[in-house]
Structure 1
């Protein structure tokens, strides 16, 4: 039963299957008012306990609404100018930076990366033919299953992110398989640094943020660089608790910080001429290996069949979403300061899109509340059973001699499961890498019970053997 429960919980965070445009006539978009947005977001926060969120909605070249709601992890109000983490939405910024170099003739998408970035060395000779396009399409052959990018020691710079690939191998031949892998975009960002001669953060500021008036946006290397406004929460038993982001490197793949006002400017820039038409076409053209993933953008459709272009982002304590509806000219961005296990940004985005399409948002839910209650009760029961086991340890020892003492081993089963959590996750998540502490961020109530059970089992085992 425990294994089944663990499997069900792990499967809950697997990335959903790609959504392709449905064979339906898209509905006409309805005008959405700031008051309707405010009412929906505040109702969502009240029902879910979401601490803070920023929302931007544009139509064409105009901002329909941009606002912040609630508070940051440090207790400050979330405003229209509050920088928050956009996580993997950052990949759209990285792909644009590469395309700007393509426009200047400094980079060709179908040439090998190593021609621009000689330091890009791997233990696999096939890496020599990886192209720039394959990095951005996530078809380079690099994958979590072959290179444990999260659980290995983390770099502190883009140069270090590339250098640690020296002993890595590919999971597949370049250009044959799609595999979502953050290192692809870290290599791409390092390429931008080397070709442009500017640090990646300086490049984005000079060529993207400043020209668009994104005064509250930047990009950072690691979780240590996150300002208080970009830190997030874990939710347990329906209550949000401010927590530091686990250790990790994200520049190029997930390091951008932005505000509601700045994300509105970014969404407008996708179709106002800032990005040349030919570049837009390249950015929105998917690979043959995955027809729903382009260059830092995902191609899909809403539940009503409206074609969309977007990208989501997940940290362990915050999430973000961006979406463009080309047919109506609408664009939406959401940044929430709760982690990937709760998908608040995605739920809010879906609700806002439903309003834009003239429908009604689905009622918000707390997907782990019942599970949290179950594991909280199991934790209390574990404390009780451990106390009982210690109190009766002398009687247990008196009844067992010789090999009979091996009956103490079942008490160590939770400890064994504790040690096996990350390998189990990797199997259930189809090779996705993770650190042990990160599993705790995904399933805090479960991991609290498991650690309690492991400690209790060790204590009971030791006391019984001493007796």
Structure 2
């Protein structure tokens, strides 16, 4: 009797029962179908458990073989490449990055003491606010040319003393990999990670828009998807990977330790271990991954989301050897929220609301507001010059403030989000709002100019 009980317990440990019943695949496909029916152009989801694919779902313009830019999921690939060099004895995580890259120079003497680990866990002190240049204006250039931009960068704090998310950390790591290995990152990843894992449709480029056979990517206008070409910007080791759902399923099983041969279990554990210094939060940064409980709640996990022009992506390693990957070929809905819903389905909780395409009403309201503003400006233009000087200057200063606010929208977004922005990025995320801002700003500027010309020409 005891032997039978022991055998049963051993079977449960070695061969865990899937968290969902036989309907998990059907439920996930139904979820994807609802997303696509709402106007999402394409979505693809994979769920793995242990060493097997538990379920997939895809629809719209994406299937399991569609190649999609995966944005910041790239950071886990770059971190894996660094860890491969660590295992080979060619890199020490706690050595100064400048030892391997003498050309890595910041406009700050403290940059000399940034370690490889601090670049990986983003506690280097390099921040979007102190870069000294706009990363979204760096075009399709070589790695060393992109990293050379950092010669204008100041550190926001001493390395290792705080934390900020900044893509430039992973630009430096890319150059470190290429310098030590003597190979471009694309070749190093292909030979040491992708080919051994069988990820034949995954690739890398500094500018992923230059890679062939990419799925179309979209933004939204009035609730409907509109196709937008990928911008030719430098993403490098922070965001240059493209992949498919089939390959993402392989990647998740490898990261969960069920596909051996690339990294040891100790190295994988080091990648996933929370290492950023801000311990007051429930979630922190590991090496190319987030680790802990998400800011909006939920069970602890190791995960990363990706958000870029026309894409939303996610990879998450959950308890019970469950992993979830999601690819969406549009700026919304957010793939991490989709994954949270899918995990709920797996444990028997129906999501309250399926993540759908954005509604039309915000864009409609923005356009209506711009028309109301235009009418108000035209009406104010008819104000006679004999009106009180106070009223004239109040209107003029108000219009000047509106002009400034509209034209400084990227800077305002950067200030609020602590991340850089550009007009190009705003256009890809919200074309209608971007046009409305530019229209209102231009109209206000013309009105200010007209009022001042009338006032001073009359005075003269």
Calculate the TM-score normalised by the size of structure 1. 0.83
Query: Match for residue 301 of structure 2?
Result: 308
Query: Match for residue 249 of structure 1?
Result: 234
Query: Match for residue 357 of structure 1?
Result: 347
1:46 and 1:115 map into 2 onto residues whose CA distance is 54
- Are 1:285 and 2:273 matched, yes or no? yes
Unaligned runs of 5+ in 1: 1-26, 72-77
1:88 and 1:398 map into 2 onto residues whose CA distance is 56
Query: Match for residue 60 of structure 2?
Result: 70
> Cα offset for 1:386?
5.0
- Are 1:103 and 2:87 matched, yes or no? yes
Unaligned runs of 5+ in 2: 1-16
Contact 1:155 1:161 in 2 (8 A): no
Contact 2:370 2:436 in 1 (8 A): yes
- Are 1:130 and 2:114 matched, yes or no? yes
> Cα offset for 1:247?
5.1
1:402 and 1:351 map into 2 onto residues whose CA distance is 59
1:216 and 1:178 map into 2 onto residues whose CA distance is 34
Contact 1:158 1:251 in 2 (8 A): yes
> Cα offset for 1:370?
3.9
- Are 1:324 and 2:324 matched, yes or no? no
- Deviating more after overlay: 101-110 vs 273-282: 273-282
- Deviating more after overlay: 178-187 vs 145-154: 145-154
Deviation digits for residues 368-417 of structure 1 (CA, Å, limit 9, x no counterpart): 64432321211232344455566x4xxx3554598986554544443221
Deviation digits for residues 284-337 of structure 1 (CA, Å, limit 9, x no counterpart): 122250452111111124788543211111103211000112x32211111111
Query: Match for residue 158 of structure 2?
Result: 173
- SS in structure 1 opposite 2:192? helix
> Cα offset for 1:153?
3.9
Query: Match for residue 35 of structure 1?
Result: 26
- Are 1:296 and 2:282 matched, yes or no? no
Which of 404, 417, 433 is residue 405 of structure 2 equivalent to? Answer: 417
Calculate the TM-score normalised by the size of structure 2. 0.85
Contact 1:217 1:259 in 2 (8 A): yes
- Are 1:338 and 2:330 matched, yes or no? yes
- SS in structure 1 opposite 2:239? coil
Contact 1:335 1:345 in 2 (8 A): yes
Which of 369, 375, 383 is residue 366 of structure 2 equivalent to? Answer: 375
Instruction: Specify whether residues 138 and 353 from structure 1 end up closer, same or farther in structure 2 by C-alpha distance, changes over 3 A only.
Output: same
Query: Match for residue 10 of structure 1?
Result: none
State which structure, 1 or 2, has the greater radius of gyration over its C-alpha atoms: 2
Instruction: Specify whether residues 408 and 451 from structure 1 end up closer, same or farther in structure 2 by C-alpha distance, changes over 3 A only.
Output: same
Contact 1:66 1:261 in 2 (8 A): no
1:428 and 1:349 map into 2 onto residues whose CA distance is 26
1:329 and 1:403 map into 2 onto residues whose CA distance is 69
- Are 1:457 and 2:444 matched, yes or no? yes
> Cα offset for 1:109?
0.7
Instruction: Specify whether residues 401 and 158 from structure 1 end up closer, same or farther in structure 2 by C-alpha distance, changes over 3 A only.
Output: same
> Cα offset for 1:155?
5.8
Which of 129, 141, 149 is residue 145 of structure 1 equivalent to? Answer: 129
Query: Match for residue 121 of structure 1?
Result: 105
2:278 and 2:212 map into 1 onto residues whose CA distance is 35
> Cα offset for 1:111?
0.7
Instruction: Specify whether residues 106 and 413 from structure 1 end up closer, same or farther in structure 2 by C-alpha distance, changes over 3 A only.
Output: same
Query: Match for residue 11 of structure 2?
Result: none
1:310 and 1:61 map into 2 onto residues whose CA distance is 18
Instruction: Specify whether residues 224 and 397 from structure 1 end up closer, same or farther in structure 2 by C-alpha distance, changes over 3 A only.
Output: farther
